[in-house]
Structures are given as structure tokens and as C-alpha cells.
Amino acid sequence: MDNSQNNKKEISRKLKERAIFEGFTICGIASIPGSSRLELRTKALNRWLSNNYHGEMKWMEAEKRKNISSLLEGAKSVLSVGFAYISSENNCQDKIFKVGKFGQGEDYHKVIYKKLKNIGRWINQEISDCKWKICVDTSPLLEKAWAEESGLGWIGKNSNLISKKNGSWFTLGFIILTKDLEPDKPHPSLCGKCNKCIEFCPTKAIIEPFVIQSNLCIAYHTIESREKKIPKEIEKNLNGWVAGCDICQDVCPWNKSVPLNDNFENTPKEWIKNLNIESLSWDDKTWEEKLKGTTLKRVKPWMWRRNIRANLSNK
């Protein structure tokens, strides 16, 4: 192996070490433009969009999403990272009103961005001729496909990325780099014949393996949809969910025993742990104060009231 190959391998190893040092649970590297699976994932996205399964999520139509190189000129590699948000405190199964585990602690966009920025500073010192760009999930990127390509895990039948060791309780972040790095092997799918996520979805939103029809999904209706009322078919299946839904992850065998990430970033907000019917009397200002610093501020105060009332109408 020549010196340049050695250097490539060494800097790739150090970069991933740095990602773990910054607090990410898993990380991996993919080369751009990636393997043929990226082309397959892009075609799958096009089919999903053409069927209008994305509902009101029009940002999913961004053309840049289909071409990672359009996000950074001269892009050659991508570092994919996963931040685990599962903790011993954020299981809200027995609560009257339930909130998706991903949103119970600090805003993961900010948490991930800060950690990636630290890695970026490290890149400036260690790979001075390298340009880089951070992408957290507001960027038009085929996130799960690139995470799969980087070896973090595989896209499951519920469309979540699943890691053999960490299940699917993690959010993703990326740094695109202009440096040619040593790629990890893409992860094979390990869902096998298991269809638990499909069988247990109360609204049958997973219309076929890997395909979610958003307008049948509880998480979509409680977080993304700006309709004044939740459709009756969804409403009668809410079963306490007021922001998000974890059912397809809760039943996944890969999530049965995963390492917990107990830290301040994942500690549920007190008001989320104690959310009850009294919240219906909160005015917009109170809601905005509560939602500050969380990713749940995407759910506007009137939507919280809508979601809570929809649950109560079925009690």
C-alpha cells in the first residue's frame, strides 16, 4: 500500500474517532457518488413523490435531494453520524398524552449541528486543504440512503434507519467533504421476514415494505399536517399520541435491547413528562415558552390543542 493510501486510511480513521469523541453513537464514511443503491433509492423517492405520498411535505420535492454534489462543489466523501436519543427516562408508554421519543429532550438539530461544527474545526486543522458542509435534516439530502451507504445501518420496512447494535433510536447528521476518504461498506438489510412494524401500525400507513403513505401516518398528522381537523380514521387510532408516534419502532425486534444514552440532551422536558388535560388551557405564549429549545416547536400551539382534543374525543 502506498503512502497516499495509508494517509487516506489514517485520516478516515481519525475522522471517525473524532465523531465518537464528540458524542455521536455511530459513524461511517461513503464515497460520492456512491454505489448503485443510491440510484435505486433515488428512483424509490421519485415513485413516492409521484404517488403524492409525501402529503404537504413539499420540501421533499427539492431536486438537490437527488444529487449530493449540488450541495458542495467538488464533493468526494460524506461522513454520516447517528446521535442516539433513547434514554432511561423518555419512554412515555403509560402517559395520557404521548410524545415521540425523538422530541422529548433538546432540539436534536442544534445538538447535532454543534457537534458537527466541532468536527469541522478539527477538519480545518487536520485536513487543511478540505472544504466541508454540514447537513442536518433540514438540508435537501437523501439522508437515510447515505447513512446506509456509509454502513450505519439499513433502511427498515418502516422506512427508519436501523442499526444492528443501536436499533433505530437515533437521529442523523452529515458532513460532506471535498477530500477522498476511505469508505465503509454499505450495510446489508437485516429485516428478513419480520413484518411487525407493518402489522402493528394501527392506521396501516406502511402500505408496503419500505413505503409510508404520509396521510395515513399518525406522526405526519400530529407534526406536519396543517389541516384544522385530524381525519376521523386517524383520530380513532391516536391512542394518546399528540406529537409523533413510536409504534413501528417500539415493536421492532432490533429496538428491544439497545444501549441507553442518558445525558442532559436527552432528558425529557418536565412539561412533556407531565403533559395532561390542563395543557388545553395554555395560551400561545405559554406553549411557545414550553416549546423553546425543542424540536417540537414545529408543532404550533393551535396544533397541540387540535391533537389533544382529537385524543379526548375518543376517550
Residues 76-126: pLDDT tens digits?
Answer: 999 999 999 999 988 655 678 999 999 999 999 999 999 999 999 999 999
Residue 97 located in a structural domain: no
Pair 24, 119: CB distance under 8 Å: no
The domain tally of the chain equals 2
Determine which one of 94, 107, 137, 250 is catalytic: 137
For residues 77 and 208, state if they share a domain.
no
Q: Is the whole model's pTM more than 0.85, yes or no? A: yes
For residues 158 and 200, state if they share a domain.
no
Which value, to the nearest 10 degrees, does the dihedral of the CA atoms of residues 222, 57, 70, 136 take?
A: -10
For residues 172 and 201, state if they share a domain.
no
Structure confidence at residue 137 as a pLDDT band (50, 70, 90): confident
For residues 162 and 18, state if they share a domain.
yes
What average pLDDT does the chain have? 90
Over the stretch 121-132, which tens digit does the pLDDT of each residue have? Answer: 999 999 989 999
Over the stretch 30-76, which tens digit does the pLDDT of each residue have? Answer: 999 887 777 777 777 777 677 665 666 664 555 555 578 888 999 99
Q: What is the pLDDT of residue 35?
A: 79
For residues 79 and 228, state if they share a domain.
no
For residues 172 and 214, state if they share a domain.
no
Q: What is the pLDDT of residue 118?
A: 98
Given 149, 177, 205, which residue is the final one in a domain? 177
Whether 239 shows a pLDDT value over 80: the answer reads: yes
User: What single-letter DSSP state applies at residue 70?
Assistant: G
Q: What is the pLDDT of residue 138?
A: 67
Contacts of 47 (CB under 8 A, 6+ apart): none
Residue 188 located in a structural domain: no
Whether 11 shows a pLDDT value over 60: the answer reads: yes
For residues 165 and 290, state if they share a domain.
no
For residues 126 and 155, state if they share a domain.
yes
Structure confidence at residue 12 as a pLDDT band (50, 70, 90): very high
For residues 215 and 169, state if they share a domain.
no
Pair 10, 102: CB distance under 8 Å: no
Pair 111, 83: CB distance under 8 Å: yes
Residue 41 located in a structural domain: yes
The verdict on whether 284 is a catalytic residue reads no
Residue 242 located in a structural domain: yes
For residues 20 and 155, state if they share a domain.
yes
What's the CA gap between 176 and 142, in Å, rounded?
13
Residue 96 located in a structural domain: no
How far, in Å, are 80, 88, 165, 176 from residue 257 at the CA level?
23, 12, 9, 32
Over the stretch 171-182, which tens digit does the pLDDT of each residue have? Answer: 999 999 999 999
Residue 205 located in a structural domain: yes
Given 144, 177, 210, which residue is the final one in a domain? 177
Q: What is the pLDDT of residue 283?
A: 96
For residues 142 and 253, state if they share a domain.
no
Three-class SS state of 47: helix
Given 146, 177, 208, which residue is the final one in a domain? 177
Residue 183 located in a structural domain: no
Parallel, antiparallel or unpaired: strands 98-99 and 241-243: parallel
- Strands (E) across 225-296 are located at 241-243
Residue 207 sits in which domain range?
A: 196-258+267-312
For residues 84 and 213, state if they share a domain.
no
Max mean pLDDT range (38-42, 202-206, 209-213):
202-206
Pick from 295, 249, 223: nearest CA to 57: 223
